Structure 1
Amino acid sequence: MSNKISQKQAFFFTIINYVGIVIGVISTLFIYPNDKELLGIFRYIDAISYVLFPIMLIGASQALVNFTPKLDELHKKKLFNYSIFSILIISSFILGLLFIISFIPAFKGMKYVYFAFPIALFLAFIELFKKQATIIQKIAVPTFLDNIIPKISLPIIFLLLMYHYITFSQSVVFYIISYGLILILLTIYLHKHFKPKFNLDFKSLFNEVSKRDYYQFSMYAFAGSLGSVFAFRIDALMIPKFISMEANGTFSIGVTLASALAIPATGVFALYAPIISNYLKNDNLSELNLKYKETSKLLFFIGALLYSCIFLGIENLFMLLPTHENLIASIPIILILGFNVLVNMGTGFNGEIITYSKYYKFNLIAIAILIVLNVGLNLLFILYFNFGIEAVAVASLLSMVVFNFAKLLFIYKKFKLFPFDYNYLKLVLIFVMTLGVVYFLPKLINEMYTLVYKVSLSLLLNILIIYKLKLVYQVTIWIDRIRNYTR
């Protein structure tokens, strides 16, 4: 596998994700606020689906990335086949278990779990196929399918349900079908670039890969994935339980808008996963350390640039919208979770380094810390202090800071890799100072003028200063190319 990342794939990955974000943001601003309780229900079903699908995978997708570099072409296909086979077996077991417990009176109210199961099954296969597409550096189309279709289907379903063209049960069926459509199209695309020969003879595969190593890695990856779901999606499970579905909808609006910050990181992390795996297997730590620092600075630059725009302009933007009364409650959530995303971006691909190293078991410790902190702080803030959904966002932020700090310390101790340097500190100081200066500038005569001038000034100052000081290598290269092209 080449160590050279496909810049074209990365570009299209980012563009597609931002198209999806634009669609999601438009829906979040103009459609979803009209019925936040309904939105809360759909997000609750989503959260259950994201709990179930890692159980169906049992680490198969991560194991595919981890063990593929060791195999020849024949056994790469066998490993892919085995991953599919394992998902089918485990999903059948889960379905049987759900069928059995449906006869127990205490579980009669589990309709949302039954709605979530088929979505989870589709998600498991989608995740596996996306990992295979990542391995062969073909992520643009899978990203398009996975990001665009749900963001188009849910608003349409939402409107049809709001205006009583369909029932709630029908809306869920259509939502499930949308994920099935993603899987069908993804299967067709992947088959054009990767043609596995399906059979159930896996003996030669496990002569090449130790069964013990495979299952051990898969179980730890599974525990990490499931832990991540509980750590990062616990809010959508706890808010309906302890507050309300409407509050879950309000929180979901904040999550959707804050998640726009994470798209550049998602593309970089997905593309670097097989590269990091190779660096570690070849013990190429010097090159890995260089990429670690470069990527961390780049992601912090992009994240801080976007976060500054949100911080300065979100209230003015909302006041211009017809749904502003239903959106205002989400502003604190957006700002807190946006900073949460910035922290995660700014620490680089530390999770990937641990996952694809021999110390991957540490992910369990880090995830356990995150779960305990997140759940504990949520319960403390909601039940004891009765703070509401803003406290849920604060709990996520505090947990994320500790989570990333623990991973940074571990990586430095084991590999002597560190994402920060003197230029990184300069970046942080520049963004803090420009944000403070622009924030305290006077407002103009209306919301639109204030929004445009403050956001534009923030962008101009940050990009100009950072370019002149040459703090981020990739930014310097990009701007130089633009200048040369326009001459």
Structure 2
Amino acid sequence: MSVIARQGFKYSLIGYFGFILGTFSAIFIFPYDMEFYGKLRYIMPTAEMLLPIVVFGLSFSNVKFFHQTQKDGKNQNILSLSLGGILINFLIFSLLFFFFFQLFPQFKGLELWKMKALILPLILIMALSAVFNKYLSNFKRIVVPNIFENIFPKIANIGAFCLFFFLGVSEKGSYGFFLGMFVLSFLGYLFYANKLEKLKPDFNTKYVKKDNLWKEILNYSFYGFLGNIGNYIAFRVDNFMIGEFLNFEENGVYSIILSILSFILIPQMGLFNISAPIINKTIAEGEFEELDRFHKKTSLTLFFLGAVLFSCILVGFPYLSNLIKNGDQLRQAEPVVWILGFAMIFDLATGFNGHIISLSKHYRFNIVIMLFLAITTIILNYLFLTRTELGIIGIAMATAISLTLFNMIKIYFNYIKFKVFPLTIEMMYILIICTLAITVAIILPETKSNFINFIYKPTFVLIVIFSANHFMKIFPIEDYLNKKFFKSIFKF
């Protein structure tokens, strides 16, 4: 087995393990104290939202220019200068941060200001780690960095929560553990990078001044910054705004529901690894009819599997909420499950729209629409929070609207540029079958046991959907139930 194959297989295993760990803890551990979990889910997304400002795309430049600089023996020079740039950016960012709150003291009531002693150091540590994460990918070593990037934050959340709730450690002490895990992760990056190649700090600027290489690096970094900040804001701003406008308890409830709904996205985890080379090849060769056929096929696969999982979640959610601690708070927020779930299902139905754009010559358009998504999400969230009394249901509606608009723009763009369209009549049939299965399952009599209800109603939904699909031949399940498919799920 090649290095890439081994790394890809292990990378996928770690990804699935991290997903299971995060979801399990969100359902069975964090509900014990929604408020403290809400605080943890405020800190991390807020830091991630501000992170691109400090990184400024320098992490991406350590991949883009690696082979060129390695030939000249200056790859560590670029690494050192990038880390130095991070420190300078962080210093400027911190000064502007404090200047803003001194200039506008009325904003000192924000949780962002109150938690600055934790959020600012976290931003710095994550920014430095981001550079090493991308740098290490040049050595075809992605497994260990993936542990630092995905497993350590989950351990930080779980450990801090358990220390606070189960062991009685103070909030400050628990936050100390939380931040300490990120410090440990950064030290791990340093140690592993040094193990692969002896680190030799080099801050000389002579090389980057030659042929104005620094301009190329900054230009590329800027595009990386634009795309990254749009992405982070679009998918992290919910937790930030709930924490600021509502309360941490609501933030905890919203985060747990998101974790449950993340089951819908499981099919995406392996399928893009299979699809990316095919998409890239068909675009490069101009085979747009083949791209359209493949796009429809992958979109139908994602939609079918996602719809099945979502149907099970919908009928099982009321009973799951009765089985876990403080589940009544989740039950009250059940509309969030329906609203966000349908938005996610439509997202799956559009397939790899964004990846088609990214892998084409129009990749810069992704930056534009990602910024559009970020701005739209912020505006809609603000309007729903300040003009309505809907709370996290309003947040869910704002996110669903902006995500749906985002996907519709990508559908239109790809149809104009490549004549590809992801939606098919089979999706309508699947939607009808799932709707009937959910409706019948809801009106079926309940037993006195929540656990039995939690098992038998989703099982009934599965039987109805797969039986109908068997007779109507809508989705070729048999094509996917083979060893080749499951092996490809773990292929990088």
TM-score range, shorter chain: 0.7 to 0.9
Match for residue 86 of structure 2?
Answer: 87
For residues 107-256 of structure 1, what are the structure 2 equivalents within 5 Å? 110-132=113-135, 138-162=141-165, 165-189=168-192, 199-200=202-203, 214-256=217-259
Cα distance between partner residues in 1 of 2:231 and 2:193: 27
**How far has the Cα of 1:482 moved from its partner?**
9.1
Contact 2:38 2:255 (8 Å CA) reproduced: yes
Contact 2:226 2:371 (8 Å CA) reproduced: no
Match for residue 20 of structure 1?
Answer: 18
**How far has the Cα of 1:336 moved from its partner?**
2.5
Cα distance between partner residues in 2 of 1:205 and 1:420: 48
Give a deviation string over 1:361-407, Cα, whole Å, max 9, x none: 32343234323432333233222222221111111111100011111
Q: 1:202 to 1:471 in 2, by over 3 A?
A: farther
Q: 1:6 to 1:335 in 2, by over 3 A?
A: farther
| Equivalent residue letter for 1:248 | N
Contact 2:31 2:324 (8 Å CA) reproduced: no
Task: Report percent identity of matched pairs.
Answer: 30
Q: Is the deviation greater in 194-203 or in 432-441?
A: 194-203
SS of the counterpart of 2:115?
A: helix
**How far has the Cα of 1:49 moved from its partner?**
0.3
**How far has the Cα of 1:114 moved from its partner?**
3.1
Task: Give the alignment partner of residue 42 of structure 1, picking from 35, 40, 47.
Answer: 40
Q: How many residues align structurally?
A: 480
**How far has the Cα of 1:451 moved from its partner?**
1.9
RMSD of aligned residue pairs (Cα, Å): 4.1
| Equivalent residue letter for 2:15 | N
Match for residue 385 of structure 1?
Answer: 388
Cα distance between partner residues in 1 of 2:321 and 2:72: 55
Match for residue 451 of structure 1?
Answer: 454
Cα distance between partner residues in 2 of 1:402 and 1:101: 33
Q: 1:418 to 1:358 in 2, by over 3 A?
A: same
**How far has the Cα of 1:17 moved from its partner?**
3.2
Q: 1:483 to 1:177 in 2, by over 3 A?
A: closer
Aligned pair 1:324/2:324, yes or no? no
For residues 69-80 of structure 1, what are the structure 2 equivalents within 5 Å? 77=75
Q: 1:401 to 1:34 in 2, by over 3 A?
A: same
Contact 2:46 2:237 (8 Å CA) reproduced: no
| Equivalent residue letter for 2:124 | L
Cα distance between partner residues in 2 of 1:197 and 1:351: 39
| Equivalent residue letter for 1:349 | F
**How far has the Cα of 1:54 moved from its partner?**
0.9
Cα distance between partner residues in 1 of 2:418 and 2:209: 30
| Equivalent residue letter for 1:481 | K
Match for residue 480 of structure 1?
Answer: 482
Match for residue 296 of structure 1?
Answer: 299
**How far has the Cα of 1:89 moved from its partner?**
3.3
Cα distance between partner residues in 1 of 2:307 and 2:470: 15
Cα distance between partner residues in 1 of 2:71 and 2:283: 19
Contact 1:292 1:418 (8 Å CA) reproduced: yes
Cα distance between partner residues in 1 of 2:168 and 2:98: 31
Cα distance between partner residues in 2 of 1:92 and 1:313: 49
Cα distance between partner residues in 1 of 2:372 and 2:306: 25
Q: 1:483 to 1:332 in 2, by over 3 A?
A: closer
Cα distance between partner residues in 2 of 1:129 and 1:297: 37
Match for residue 354 of structure 1?
Answer: 357
**How far has the Cα of 1:294 moved from its partner?**
4.4
Match for residue 52 of structure 1?
Answer: 50
| Equivalent residue letter for 2:41 | R
Q: Is the deviation greater in 355-364 or in 395-404?
A: 355-364
**How far has the Cα of 1:12 moved from its partner?**
4.3
Q: 1:462 to 1:29 in 2, by over 3 A?
A: same
Contact 2:357 2:363 (8 Å CA) reproduced: yes
**How far has the Cα of 1:290 moved from its partner?**
5.9
Cα distance between partner residues in 2 of 1:46 and 1:55: 15
Cα distance between partner residues in 2 of 1:197 and 1:171: 35
Match for residue 490 of structure 2?
Answer: none
Q: Is the deviation greater in 131-140 or in 385-394?
A: 131-140
| Equivalent residue letter for 1:402 | L
Q: 1:354 to 1:321 in 2, by over 3 A?
A: same
Cα distance between partner residues in 1 of 2:60 and 2:86: 13
| Equivalent residue letter for 1:173 | G
Cα distance between partner residues in 2 of 1:72 and 1:426: 54
Q: 1:113 to 1:297 in 2, by over 3 A?
A: farther
Cα distance between partner residues in 2 of 1:10 and 1:353: 22
**How far has the Cα of 1:81 moved from its partner?**
5.7
**How far has the Cα of 1:352 moved from its partner?**
3.3
TM-score by length of 1: 0.81
Cα distance between partner residues in 2 of 1:191 and 1:464: 56
SS of the counterpart of 1:386?
A: coil
Aligned pair 1:338/2:341, yes or no? yes
Q: 1:461 to 1:237 in 2, by over 3 A?
A: same
Cα distance between partner residues in 1 of 2:249 and 2:386: 18
SS of the counterpart of 1:479?
A: coil
Cα distance between partner residues in 2 of 1:463 and 1:74: 58
| Equivalent residue letter for 2:483 | R
